[in-house]
């Protein structure tokens, strides 16, 4: 037989199929039936049974966030079914319960489930042929953006955003063959792809959803055309959030049009190769460029720095505005330190405001907002009357919200409970009705004494007593000797041996007050809390803007701190495709190596110094470090940061491309060489004259002749057809001869000093090409056995004396026979066949045939 409570649970399961339902039952959230078995495994909790047959597992309500995080990490979506009324208020029927929200990876707002230094994006896509509509929302801050982009660039944009959840039309999941959703899952294995009804992505439906939310009738004012497919993605995303969150979304106040042309484009290969936010090997933040340059003092600042790093600016005026602000902050050390001290004390205003707006804020969240608002005047004072246009602009935008601060300070006590239902939140004096209730519980004995004295005077009964017991409550006791003096308004309540007990209307009223005061205090405090939260939510726009200003100030001050601490210089920007660096350094390795051991290098590119630099030299000597530091210095300059160099002048790039290292993608059926050629094709098809291209080996995944030919042709194409700035680190010394035919190509090499049998890498870049790769020396450093090294030296000597000459270009080379020494001392098969051939036993035709075959084999 199904109980009413279990029927409620099954109704919730039917309403939210495919989700685990956490069902509130008193102090626990419980899972039943199949959900209990799944949840017990995922959470490592005990599986029990209800009524001896229904599987059941539960978690304490106060630890919900911790268990939710585990369920989400295990790939589950969760519906939270909450008690909507108190058990004490319900008689003769089940407690009413409702699903109050659905928790998915992209819709989190709880602090305990979010990394304070990392954004948590929810994205949605709508394929439209050659283009794809893309929208994304950071629900915890309200940042909402959309754009139409070429479908070929979708993976790159998703790599930049790193969404935790992606919404797509159901047709993308149910279609036969390898769908776009499948390919995205292959590319991003940790991405939760959530199919949604196709009709929610259709423009009329999606636009209606957006119109209702934003209260507008056209998207022109937001910078969109009304027929853009990204609006379909944005509307479907908004509908999903409303459905799952089941609360107000006022903090999502604007849909911004993301315009790629305003930003330096970085594809996913480049972001990964340069290890901007994650390392290649561990995929960790530690060791990445972000980790090494992050001097922010708040989670909100750290998130903004990360977003700047993966989307540098292309607009020179905007970059200069950031650089001006950083420059001013570097010179005023005291002001910068005081500003950072203030910023370090602020709470995450954006995420706090979101929880307020969505009705999920706790008393401590309101206190965090109040404490942050108290700090704002101090922060504002530090950036008042500054020379920098950007600092002045931020100062004007920073609203202090004094009315809100005063209200919260007047209302909230210093030490607050975890939840609003616990009570103990409101200061004395804030609400007269609440003060009266507290007075009742606090002054009960005094009231009774005063009431007794009042009644003695009124009745002229000196022995009259006022008392209380748990059975009969409050009473007035009069002995039988004074029965004739009892007033008419006294109502008999209890008869004793020597006395009668009475009650009056006033005493009844007071009794009710006292007996219900605690419950009324908690209820009144909860009402006041909801009122406070609503008044704070009404200021969402102001608070979100203040949070944005705080984030920006934190990043600018952090970049100034970085510049001072690591001796960075301000880059000089220009529009010409040049790059001039004196004593440039790698921003990550410089901090990783022991102080003073990193070798700085100059780099000059432009009309006078050539725009294509071919860099040769040994492995482990610093070629890869050098070309990467050029890319990283360019990128840092375009986020508005000072750069690791003594002096820097750089032309603004529109794109940075890298082709670095070799890696198989076996899961996608791609070999090392296929990956290499795919990345090279992307560069050749998309680079422009303003781009910066970094090539670390090309053609090493195939035969020597194929490889050098491809490298040769790619170099010519980049030089002649595209004309971009490029650095190519290679072991193909043959390419050095291209300086004779390519006017803008220059040869550089990593300098080496040979001392008897020792080779010393100087890590310094100089003009000219290298004539050796020192591969055997590197193998020795790696610990390869000496027997192998000795044999390698023998083979190398043979190859260098007999193999293909490297002094002629590929189209004029002559092949020479391979050396017998390559066969570890075994005789050449042609020579052996010739020695065994007996011409006296062969016909002229047989002898001629053998001669032709041997000639072919030798060739």
pLDDT at 332: 92
- Report the 3 state secondary structure along 88-137: HHCCCCCCCEEEEEEECCCCCCCHHHCCCCCCCEEEEEEEECCEEEEEEE
Question: Do 140 and 132 form a contact (C-beta atoms < 8 A)?
Answer: no
Domain 111-258 in this protein, CATH class: alpha beta
User: What gap in Å lies between CA 129 and CA 132, rounded to an integer?
Assistant: 7
Question: Do 602 and 584 form a contact (C-beta atoms < 8 A)?
Answer: yes
pLDDT at 665: 44
pLDDT 10s digits, 608-635: 899 999 998 777 767 889 999 999 999 9
Of the two residues 351 and 418, the one the predictor is more confident about is 351
Q: Helix or strand or coil: residue 296? A: coil
Q: What is the percentage of the chain residues whose pLDDT exceeds 70?
A: 92
Q: Is the pLDDT of residue 483 over 80?
A: yes
User: What gap in Å lies between CA 67 and CA 94, rounded to an integer?
Assistant: 26
Q: Is the dihedral of CA 359, 361, 367, 368 positive or negative?
A: negative
For the chain, give the longest Cα–Cα distance. Answer: 160
Residue 653's nearest CA partner among 603, 609, 688, 614 is 688
Please state whether 607 falls in left (phi above 0), alpha (psi between -120 and 50) or beta: alpha
For the ranges 208-222, 451-465, 506-520, which has the lowest average pLDDT?
506-520
Place of tokens 């600092």: 391
pLDDT 10s digits, 388-401: 999 999 999 999 99
Residue 187's nearest CA partner among 169, 214, 162 is 162
Non-local CB neighbours of 316 within 8 Å, separated by 6+ positions: 573, 575, 652
Please give the backbone phi and psi of residue 82, each rounded to the nearest 5 degrees, phi first.
-105, 150
**Spans of all domains in the chain:** 4-103, 111-258, 316-401+539-566, 572-784, 829-858
pLDDT at 190: 73
pLDDT at 445: 75
pLDDT at 585: 95
Count of all residues that appear for the chain in the document: 859
Average pLDDT over residues 689-701: 88
pLDDT at 177: 59
Under the banding of pLDDT at 50, 70 and 90, the label for residue 670 is low
Q: Is the pLDDT of residue 198 over 60?
A: yes
Q: Is the pLDDT of residue 795 over 90?
A: no
Under the banding of pLDDT at 50, 70 and 90, the label for residue 186 is confident
Average pLDDT over residues 85-98: 78
Average pLDDT over residues 129-141: 92
For the ranges 32-41, 376-385, 572-581, 583-592, which has the lowest average pLDDT?
32-41
Q: Is the pLDDT of residue 178 over 70?
A: no
Average pLDDT over residues 258-262: 90
166 is written with which tokens? 């992606």
Domain 316-401+539-566 in this protein, CATH class: mainly alpha
Q: Give me the CATH code for the 4-103 domain, please.
A: 3.40.1170.10
For the ranges 189-198, 203-212, 538-547, which has the lowest average pLDDT?
189-198
Under the banding of pLDDT at 50, 70 and 90, the label for residue 702 is confident
pLDDT at 188: 75
Please state whether 75 falls in left (phi above 0), alpha (psi between -120 and 50) or beta: left
Average pLDDT over residues 836-852: 76
pLDDT at 666: 39
Predicted TM-score (pTM) of this structure: 0.83
Of the two residues 806 and 442, the one the predictor is more confident about is 442
User: What gap in Å lies between CA 478 and CA 500, rounded to an integer?
Assistant: 5
Q: Is the pLDDT of residue 532 over 60?
A: yes
For the ranges 204-213, 216-225, 743-752, 827-836, which has the lowest average pLDDT?
827-836
pLDDT 10s digits, 635-669: 999 999 999 999 999 999 999 999 876 554 434 44
* Candidate CATH numbers 1.50.10.10, 3.40.1280.10, 3.30.450.40, 3.40.50.300; the one for domain 572-784: 3.40.50.300
pLDDT at 563: 97
């Amino acid at each position: 037989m199904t109980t009413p409570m279990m029927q409620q649970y099954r109704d919730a399961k039917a309403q939210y199929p495919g989700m685990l339902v956490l069902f509130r039952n008193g102090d626990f959230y419980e899972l039943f039936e199949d959900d209990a078995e799944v949840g017990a495994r995922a959470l490592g909790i005990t599986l029990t049974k209800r009524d001896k047959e229904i599987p059941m597992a539960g978690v304490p309500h106060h630890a919900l966030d911790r268990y939710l995080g585990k369920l989400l990490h295990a790939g589950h979506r969760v519906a939270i079914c909450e008690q909507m009324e108190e058990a004490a208020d319900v008689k003769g029927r089940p407690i009413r319960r409702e699903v109050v929200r659905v928790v998915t990876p992209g819709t989190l707002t709880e602090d305990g489930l979010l990394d304070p230094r990392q954004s948590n994006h929810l994205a949605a896509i709508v394929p439209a042929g050659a283009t794809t509509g893309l929208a994304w929302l950071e629900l915890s801050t309200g940042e909402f953006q959309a754009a139409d982009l070429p479908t070929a660039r979708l993976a790159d944009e998703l790599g930049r955003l790193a969404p935790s959840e992606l919404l797509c039309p159901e047709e993308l999941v149910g279609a036969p063959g390898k769908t776009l959703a499948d390919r995205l899952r292959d590319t991003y294995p940790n991405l939760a792809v959530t199919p949604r009804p196709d009709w929610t992505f259709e423009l009329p439906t999606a636009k209606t959803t957006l119109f209702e939310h934003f209260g507008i009738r056209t998207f022109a004012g937001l910078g969109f055309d009304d027929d853009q497919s990204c609006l379909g993605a944005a509307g479907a995303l908004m509908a999903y959030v409303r459905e799952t969150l089941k609360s107000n979304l006022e903090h999502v106040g604007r849909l911004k049009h993301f315009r790629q042309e305003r930003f330096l484009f970085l594809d996913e290969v480049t972001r990964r190769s340069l290890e901007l936010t994650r390392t290649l090997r561990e995929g960790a933040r530690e060791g990445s460029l972000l980790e090494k340059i992050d001097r922010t003092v708040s989670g909100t600042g750290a998130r903004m720095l990360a977003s700047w790093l993966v989307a540098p600016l292309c607009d020179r005026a905007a970059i200069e505005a950031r650089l001006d602000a950083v420059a001013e902050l570097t010179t005023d050390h005291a002001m910068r330190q005081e500003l950072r001290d203030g910023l370090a004390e602020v709470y995450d205003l954006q995420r706090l405001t979101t929880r307020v707006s969505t009705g999920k804020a706790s008393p401590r969240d309101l206190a965090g907002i109040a404490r942050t608002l108290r700090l704002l005047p101090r922060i504002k004072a530090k950036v008042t009357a500054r020379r920098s246009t950007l600092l002045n602009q931020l100062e004007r935008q920073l609203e202090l919200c004094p009315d809100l601060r005063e209200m919260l300070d007047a209302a909230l006590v210093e030490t607050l409970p975890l939840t609003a239902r616990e009570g103990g939140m409101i200061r004395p004096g804030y609400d007269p009705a609440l003060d009266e209730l507290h007075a009742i519980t606090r002054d009960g004995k005094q009231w009774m004494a005063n009431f007794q004295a009042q009644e003695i005077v009124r009745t002229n009964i000196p022995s009259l007593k006022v008392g209380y017991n748990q059975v009969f409550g409050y009473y007035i006791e009069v002995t039988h000797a004074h029965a004739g003096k009892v007033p008419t308004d006294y109502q008999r309540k209890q008869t004793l041996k020597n006395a009668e007990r009475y009650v009056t209307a006033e005493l009844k009223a007071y009794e009710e007050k006292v007996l219900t005061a605690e419950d009324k205090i908690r209820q009144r405090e909860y009402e006041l809390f909801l009122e406070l939260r609503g008044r704070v939510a009404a200021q969402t726009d102001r608070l979100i803007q203040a949070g944005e200003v705080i984030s920006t100030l934190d990043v600018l001050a952090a970049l100034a701190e970085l510049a001072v601490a690591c001796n960075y210089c301000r880059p000089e920007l220009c529009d010409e495709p040049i790059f001039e660096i004196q004593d440039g350094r790698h921003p990550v390795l410089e901090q990783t190596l022991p102080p003073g051991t990193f070798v700085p290098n100059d780099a000059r590119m432009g009309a006078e110094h050539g725009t294509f630099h071919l860099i040769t030299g040994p492995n482990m000597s610093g070629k890869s470090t050098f070309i990467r530091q050029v890319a990283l210095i360019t990128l840092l300059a375009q986020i508005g940061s000072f750069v690791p160099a003594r002096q820097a002048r750089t032309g603004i790039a529109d794109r940075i491309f890298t082709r670095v290292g070799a890696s198989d993608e076996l899961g996608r059926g791609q070999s090392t060489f296929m990956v290499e050629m795919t990345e090279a094709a992307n560069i050749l098809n998309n680079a422009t004259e303003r781009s910066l291209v970094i090539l670390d080996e090309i053609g090493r995944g195939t035969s020597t002749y194929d490889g050098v030919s491809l490298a040769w042709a790619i170099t010519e194409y980049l030089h002649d057809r595209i004309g971009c700035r490029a650095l190519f680190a290679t072991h193909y010394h043959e390419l050095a001869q291209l300086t004779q035919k390519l006017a803008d190509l220059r040869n550089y090499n990593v300098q080496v000093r040979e001392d008897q049998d020792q080779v010393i890498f100087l890590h310094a870049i100089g003009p000219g090409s290298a004539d050796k790769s020192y591969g055997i020396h590197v193998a020795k450093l790696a610990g390869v056995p000496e027997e192998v090294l000795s044999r390698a030296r023998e083979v190398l000597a043979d190859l260098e004396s007999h193999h293909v000459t490297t002094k002629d270009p590929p189209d004029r080379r002559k092949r020479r026979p391979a050396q017998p020494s390559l066969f570890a001392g075994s005789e050449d098969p042609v020579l052996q066949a010739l020695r065994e051939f007996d011409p006296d036993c062969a016909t002229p035709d047989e002898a001629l045939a053998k001669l032709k075959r041997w000639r072919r084999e030798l060739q």
